[in-house]
Every structure is written in C-alpha cells, then in structure tokens.
Amino acid sequence: MNTAVVVVAHGSRVKEANRGLYSVIEYLRATGRWEMVEPSFLQFEEPGLSRAVEGVINRGAEKVVVVPLLLFAGNHLQKDIPEEIEKQRSSHTGVEIVLTRHMGIDGRVAQMVVERIDEADNNVKVASKTKDIPLRPQDIEDESFRILSELVDLEQFPGDFRPIVQRIIHTTGDPEFAKTLVFHPDAVTSGVEAIRAGRPILTDVTMVQAGIDKNILSHFGVEVICKISDAGVRQDAESSGSTRAATAIRAAADVVSGGIIAIGNAPTAIMETVRLIKNEGIKPALIVGVPVGFVGAVESKEELERISVPFVTNRGRKGGSTVAVAIVNAIIRIARDKYHGEP
C-alpha cells in the first residue's frame, strides 16, 4: 500500500520557528519507511493540513497517516483537526486516512523537562560567576567568534576559506570540522562568481533550501531550487528504484549549469552529481557535499574529492543540512562583502 505521512504543526508568523517541522520531516524521510512524508501547518504557514493531504492523495497515496506534532489536546486536536480529517475522508472515499494520537504526556517529555531545568540551573550558576555576559545577538555572535578563534587556528586556512570554517564551527559547536574540511582551490572564487552571475542553487533536501539566506540572494537574482517533493521526481524514483534525492538532482541537471549544488543529507545525491559530471557533461560552478551518516557518506565524499569541479566537503561521517547551509551562507556573505555590499 502506498502510504503517506502528513505531520501537522501549529505554525508561527516567525519563519524561523517553522523550520523545526522541516527538520522532523527530513528525519522521517531519511528512514525510508514511507513513500511520502510531508509537512503541514494549522496557522500562519503553508501548506495547510487540507492542502497537504490532498497533495499526497493526488500523488497516489492510498493511505494517509496524519500526525499532530502537538503536546496537549486543545481545541485544534479536539475540533479543528478531526473536522478536517472527516472532510477529507468524505472527499476521498477510496483513501484510508488515519489520525494518530498527539504527542501527549510521556515519560520522555517529562525527562526533557528535567533536562531543561538542569540546563537552566547550571546556566544560572555559571552566570553568577561570570561578568558581562553579552545579551544582544550581535554581541553573542562576536563573543562566539572570539572564543572560536582561541580554539581553532584559522590562520592555517587561506583567507577566503576562513569565514567558511568559522561559520561551520559556529553553527555546529564542533571544532573538529577544522581538521576534516577539504576545499578545492577554486571553491570560493567559483562559488562567488556563480552567485554574482545570478546562477541557481540546487539543494538535495528542503531543509538546506529553507536555511539558505534568500534575503542576500534576492539582490543577485539567485533562485534556490529543491525538487525532492515534486510529484514527477517521486514517480521517477519509484519506477527506477533510485532514491528521491538522486532523482531530484537528475531532474534539475539542465538548469544548474554554472550554478551551485548543495548536498547536506543524501550521499546518493553526490554520487548522482558525480555521474552527471562524468557521463553527461554538466558543469556546476561549485558542489557543496557534506552528507551525514553511516551508509555512503564517507564514500560519496571521497568520490567528490576526485573530480575536477570545485567543491567543499569534509572527510568522515559528520556533516548534515546545517553544515551545508553554513557553507553556502558563508559564500553568499563573501560575495556580498567582496563587492562592498552592493551586487
């Protein structure tokens, strides 16, 4: 049975707050257990629940499992969601639509509360012993970079590479990345030129797409593309037996020439990119390839290091969407700053 999962969160007017749901979606998709996994929101963000359910049904779902990512059984759970589910059942009588329990009270949630209290209590104790802790966001970032500079010798990297190393470690809190990052000599130059030329950025998953700084990119006319949720990509992946991530890269190969490919989740997306370069002659300006995991991540990065196209990667199992986003955003800022902030 072709099963789809639709996870529904409350939604917020603050865009950053909605990214948490996309992280959950990315994790669920990575398990490979369901044919489709899609996000939805009750308020302030799209897609809404009805649109998400109809979307997966139109793409062939025979069963839809709706999961409320809500802690307590308030009005949304008692009234809004059940009513919407009933409407969808009436409209799609041939499809099984199931509503799961909400998150609810669980010992694991209680344990998280205990952990948060312990964290806060420890922070209070530390703060009582520390003077002049910065409170403003820019001050916090400046202090973070100061501490980072004491942990990592950025002088070991060429000048254009340092902001990337700095941004990755700041994002992950992991200085070990300084030992594993690998840069093609032309990586930054080629990436900056692509951004300045308004070439597109193609991502393997929506989490990378969501994290890239669209505000700066809008000045350069750069589009950020992710095709992993396209109906055609899903169908092609199912018929070919390939992963959706690899199929999504292949589906956008014709538009990414001279652009940037950013891969933070799927080793198969790197392998497909390498194949397209070797066998079909696509020529991206830069490949950012930092998938995380135990299966294929190490090997795919090793393949990436062997090609002549400019790349940024790291050796080992570490990586992920946040690392890919950090690299791309660092290059975007270099593109802006090198030209005095004016495109």
Average pLDDT over residues 182-205: 94
For residue 32, what pLDDT band results from cuts at 50, 70 and 90?
confident
Q: Which of 36-50, 108-122, 299-313 has the lowest mean pLDDT?
A: 108-122
Residue 67 structure tokens: 């999961």
Domain residue ranges of the chain, discontinuous segments joined by +: 3-99, 137-338
Average pLDDT over residues 176-193: 92
**Is it true that 3-99 and 137-338 share their CATH fold?**
yes
In this prediction, residue 88 carries a pLDDT of: 92
Is the CATH number 3.40.30.10 carried by domain 3-99? Answer: no
Measured CA to CA, the distance from residue 20 to residue 26 in angstroms comes to 10
- Tokens 């030329």 correspond to 197
Measured CA to CA, the distance from residue 31 to residue 25 in angstroms comes to 10
Report which of 287, 265, 262, 268 is spatially closest to residue 277, judged by C-alpha positions: 287
Measured CA to CA, the distance from residue 19 to residue 14 in angstroms comes to 10
Residue 242 pairs in a beta bridge with none
pLDDT at 124 over 60: no
In this prediction, residue 145 carries a pLDDT of: 66
pLDDT at 134 over 60: no
Measured CA to CA, the distance from residue 283 to residue 257 in angstroms comes to 5
For residue 273, what pLDDT band results from cuts at 50, 70 and 90?
very high
Average pLDDT over residues 11-40: 84
pLDDT at 105 over 80: no
For residue 138, what pLDDT band results from cuts at 50, 70 and 90?
low
For residue 171, what pLDDT band results from cuts at 50, 70 and 90?
confident
In this prediction, residue 141 carries a pLDDT of: 63
Report which of 30, 26, 21, 24 is spatially closest to residue 293, judged by C-alpha positions: 30
Instruction: Give SS3 for 318.
Output: coil
Q: Which of 22-36, 255-269, 283-297 has the lowest mean pLDDT?
A: 22-36
Average pLDDT over residues 148-167: 79
Measured CA to CA, the distance from residue 313 to residue 167 in angstroms comes to 14
Residue ranges of alpha helices (H) inside 137-260 are: 137-151, 162-172, 177-180, 187-196, 206-211, 214-220, 231-240, 244-251
Residue 288 pairs in a beta bridge with 262, 312
Average pLDDT over residues 91-117: 81
In this prediction, residue 130 carries a pLDDT of: 53
In this prediction, residue 142 carries a pLDDT of: 67
Report which of 125, 135, 80, 128 is spatially closest to residue 102, judged by C-alpha positions: 80
Q: Which residues contact 13 (CB under 8 A, 6 or more apart)?
A: 44
For 105, the enclosing helix (H) or strand (E) is none
Letter for the amino acid at 275? R
Residues with active-site annotation: 170
Measured CA to CA, the distance from residue 316 to residue 267 in angstroms comes to 12
Neighbours of 147 (CB within 10 A): 11
In this prediction, residue 241 carries a pLDDT of: 85
Average pLDDT over residues 296-319: 92
Fold of the domain built from segment(s) 137-338: Rossmann fold (3.40.50)
Instruction: Give SS3 for 242.
Output: coil
pLDDT at 342 over 60: no
pLDDT at 139 over 50: yes
In this prediction, residue 343 carries a pLDDT of: 45
In this prediction, residue 125 carries a pLDDT of: 57
For residue 133, what pLDDT band results from cuts at 50, 70 and 90?
low
pLDDT at 182 over 90: yes
Compute CA distances 189 → 94, 132, 258, 330, whole Å: 54, 39, 13, 12
